[in-house]
Chain A
Amino acid sequence: MSENLPFLVIAAPLFGALVASLVGWARPRYCYAIAMVSLAAGLTAAIALLVKVSGTVSGYEYRLGGWPPPIGIQHWVDPLSALILVVITAVAFLAVMSARANLQLELPGKERFVYPLMLLMVTGLSGMTLTGDAFNLYVLLEITSLSSYALVAIGRGRAAASCLNYIIMGTIGASFYLLGVGYLYLKTGSLNMIDLRQIMIAGDMHGSQTVITGFILITVGFWIKMGLYPLHGWLPNAYSFAPHAASNLMAPLMTKVSVYVSLRMMLSVFTPDFLAVHALWAQTALLVATIAIIAGSLIAYSQTDVKKLLCYLVVAEVGYMAGGMWLMNRAGITGTIYHIAADAFMTCCLFLGASGLIASTGSRHIRSFRGATRRMPWTFAAFLVGGLSMIGVPPTCGFFSKWFLIQGAIEGGAWHFVAALIFSSLINALIFFRIIELAYFKDVEHEDDVSHPPQVQRNEAPWGIRIPLFITSVVIVLLGVFSPRVINWIERFVDSVGVT
Chain B
Amino acid sequence: MNIQYLPVVAVSISLLAVPLIILLNKKPNLREAVSLLAGVVKLGCVIALVPHVLNGEQIEIVLWEFEAGLPIAFRVDGLGLLFAFVAASLWIVTTAYSIGYMRTTKSKNLTRFYSYFAISLAATLGVAFSANLLTLYLFYEALSLATFPLVTHNGDGEARSGGRRYLYFLLTTSIGLVLPAMLYIYGQVGDLNFQPGGVLVDSGMSQTTLLVLLLAFVFGFAKAALMPFHGWLPGAMVAPTPVSALLHAVAVVKVGVFSILRIITGIFGTDFMAQVNWHEIVTWVAAGTVVISSLIALSQDNLKRRLAYSTIGQLAYIILGASLLTDRAVTGSSLHILMHAFGKITLFFCAGAIYVASGKKYISQMVGLGRIMPWTMAAFLIGSMSVIGLPPTGGFVSKWLLLMGALDARMNAVVVVYLVSSLLNAAYFLPIVFRGFYVPGDDPTKPVKMKEAPLWCLIPLWITALISIALFFLSDTAIRLIEVFLGVGV
Residues on A close to B: CB < 8 A? 331, 392-394, 403, 406-407, 410-411, 418, 422, 425-426, 429-430, 433, 437, 440-442, 444, 447, 481, 483-484, 487
Distance of A331 Cα from B188 Cα, bound (Å): 13
Contact yes or no, A444 B157, CB < 8 A: yes
Residues of B within 8 A of A433 (CB): 164, 167
A406→B141 contact, CB < 8 A: no
Residues of chain B contacted by A437 (CB below 8 angstroms): 160, 163-164
Kindly identify, within residues 145 to 196 of chain B, every residue whose CB is under 8 Å from any CB belonging to chain A.
145, 149, 152, 155-157, 159-160, 163-164, 167-168, 171-172, 175-176, 179-180, 183-184, 186-187
Q: Are B141 and A393 in contact, CB atoms less than 8 angstroms apart? A: yes
Q: Which residues of A contact B171 (CB under 8 A)?
A: 426, 429
| A406-B65 CB under 8 A given contacts A433-B164, A444-B160 | no
Complex A-B: 19 CB contacts under 8 Å: A394-B138, A406-B179, A410-B183, A418-B180, A422-B176, A422-B180, A425-B175, A426-B175, A429-B168, A429-B175, A430-B168, A437-B160, A437-B164, A440-B149, A440-B152, A440-B155, A442-B156, A483-B66, A487-B67
Chain B hits for A441, CB < 8 A? 152, 155, 159-160
A426 to B163, CA, bound (A): 16
Q: How far is the CA of A275 from the CA of B168 in the complex (A)?
A: 40
B240 nearest CB across to chain A (Å): 16
- Asked, given contacts A407-B186, A484-B65, whether A442 binds B175 with beta carbons under 8 Å apart, the answer is no
Using CB atoms and an 8 Å cutoff, list the residues of chain B in contact with chain A: 64-67, 138, 141-142, 145, 149, 152, 155-157, 159-160, 163-164, 167-168, 171-172, 175-176, 179-180, 183-184, 186-187
In the complex the two chains form, is B175's CB within 8 Å of A407's CB? Answer: no
For B156, the chain A residues whose CB sits under 8 A away are 442, 444, 447
Kindly state the separation between the CA atoms of A426 and B141 in the bound complex, as whole angstroms.
13
Taken together as a complex, chains A and B put the C-alpha atoms of A411 and B187 apart, in Å, by: 7
Output the nearest chain A residue to B137 by Cβ-Cβ distance: A394
Residues on A with beta carbons closer than 8 Å to the beta carbon of B180:
406, 410, 418, 422
Name the residue of chain B whose CB is nearest to the CB of A442: B155
A407:B183 contact, CB within 8 angstroms: yes
Closest chain B residue to A423, Cβ basis: B176
- Contacting A407 at CB < 8 Å: which of B157, B172, B187? B187
In the complex, A447 Cα to B155 Cα: how many Å?
A: 11
DSSP majority for the A interface?
A: helix
Cβ-defined contact, A422 with B164, below 8 A: no
Q: How far is the CB of A180 from chain B (nearest CB, A)?
A: 35
- In the assembled complex, which residues on chain A have CB atoms less than 8 Å from the CB atom of B65? 484
User: Do A422 and B155 have beta carbons less than 8 Å apart?
Assistant: no
List A contacts of B159 (CB < 8 A): 441
Q: Which of A410, A442, A444, A483 contacts B184 (CB 8 A)?
A: A410
Q: Which residue of B lies closest to A430 (CB)?
A: B168
- Interface residue SS majority, chain B: helix
Q: How far is the CB of B204 from chain A (nearest CB, A)?
A: 16
Contact between A447 and B157 (Cβ–Cβ < 8 Å)? yes
A429 to chain B: which residues have CB within 8 Å?
A: 167-168, 171, 175
A447-B186 Cα distance, complex, nearest whole Å: 49
Query: How far apart sit A441 and B109, CA to CA, in the bound complex (Å)?
Result: 12
- Given contacts A394-B141, A407-B186, A484-B66, is CB(A426)–CB(B176) below 8 Å? yes
Q: How far is the CA of A392 from the CA of B159 in the complex (A)?
A: 25
Q: In the assembled complex, how far is the CB of residue B170 from the closest CB belonging to chain A, in whole angstroms?
A: 10
Nearest chain A CB to B165's CB is how many angstroms away? 11
Given the complex of chains A and B, what is the CA–CA distance between A487 and B64 in angstroms? 14
| A331: B residues at CB distance < 8 A | 187
Question: Given contacts A429-B167, A444-B160, are A422 and B184 in contact (CB under 8 A)?
Answer: no
- Which of B141, B183, B184 is A403 in contact with, Cβ under 8 Å? B183
> Which A residues are CB-close (under 8 A) to B175?
392, 422, 425-426, 429
Known: A406-B180, A426-B171. 5 other contacts (CB 8 A): A407-B183, A426-B176, A437-B164, A442-B155, A487-B67
A444: B residues at CB distance < 8 A? 156-157, 160
Please give the distance in Å from B87's CB to the nearest CB on chain A: 21
User: How distant is the Cα of A422 from the Cα of B180 in the complex, in angstroms?
Assistant: 8
A426 to B167, CA, bound (A): 11
A426 cross-chain contacts in B, Cβ below 8 A:
171-172, 175-176
Complex CA–CA separation, A422 to B176 (angstroms): 6
A406–B183 CB distance below 8 A = yes
Whole-angstrom CA separation of A411 from B185 in the bound complex: 11
Report the minimum CB–CB distance from A77 to chain B (whole Å).
27
B167 contact set on A, CB distance < 8 A: 429, 433
Chain A residues in 8 Å Cβ range of B184 = 410
Q: How many angstroms from the CA of A393 to the CA of B176 in the assembled complex?
A: 14
**How many angstroms between the C-alpha atoms of A440 and B116 in the bound complex?**
15
> When chains A and B are docked, how far (Å) is the Cα of A442 from the Cα of B108?
13
Cα distance A483–B66 in the bound complex, in angstroms: 8
Query: 6 closest A-B pairs (Cβ-Cβ)?
Result: A444-B157, A407-B183, A429-B171, A406-B183, A394-B138, A425-B175
In the bound complex, residues from chain A placing their C-beta under 8 Å from that of B179 are 406, 422
Q: With a CB–CB cut-off of 8 A, which chain A residues contact B160? A: 437, 441, 444
CA distance A407 to B186 in the complex (A): 8
Contact residues in A for B152 (Cβ distance below 8 Å): 440-441
> Chain A: which residue is nearest B149 at the CB level?
A440
Report the minimum CB–CB distance from A41 to chain B (whole Å): 35
**Residue among B64, B141, B152, B180 with max Cβ neighbours from chain A (10 Å):** B180
Query: Whose C-beta in chain A lies nearest to the C-beta of B168?
Result: A430
Complex Cα–Cα for A403 and B67 (A): 11
How many Å from the CB of A426 to the closest CB on chain B? Answer: 6
Chain A residue with minimal CB distance to B144? A393
Closest chain A CB from B164 CB (angstroms): 7
CA distance A418 to B179 in the complex (A): 11
Kindly provide the distance from the CB of B363 to the nearest chain A CB, expressed in whole angstroms.
28
| B145 CB to nearest A CB, Å | 7
Q: Closest approach, in angstroms, between the C-beta of B460 and any C-beta of chain A? A: 29
- CB A17 to nearest CB in B, in angstroms, measures 42
B149 cross-chain contacts in A, Cβ below 8 A: 440
Measured between beta carbons, the chain A residues less than 8 angstroms from B187 are 331, 407, 410-411
| Chain A nearest CB, measured from B402 CB (Å) | 35
- Residue numbers in B under 8 Å from A393 (CB-CB): 141, 145
* CB of A432, distance to nearest CB on chain B (Å): 11
B-chain residues with CB within 8 Å of residue A418 when the two chains form the complex: 180
- What is the chain A residue whose CB lies nearest that of B172? A426
Looking at the assembled complex, report how far the CB atom of B109 sits from the nearest CB atom of chain A, in whole angstroms. Answer: 11
Please indicate which of the listed interface residues B64, B67, B145 has the most CB atoms of chain A within 10 Å of its own CB: B67
Q: Determine the residue in chain A with the shortest Cβ distance to B175.
A: A425
Please tell me which one of the listed residues A392, A410, A411, A484 contacts residue B67 in the complex, with CB atoms under 8 A apart: A484
The CA of A422 and the CA of B173, in the complex, are separated in Å by 10
Residues of the A chain whose Cβ atoms lie less than 8 Å from the Cβ of B145: 393
A481 / chain B contacts, CB cutoff of 8 Å = 64
Which residues of the partner chain A approach B183 to less than 8 Å between Cβ atoms?
403, 406-407, 410
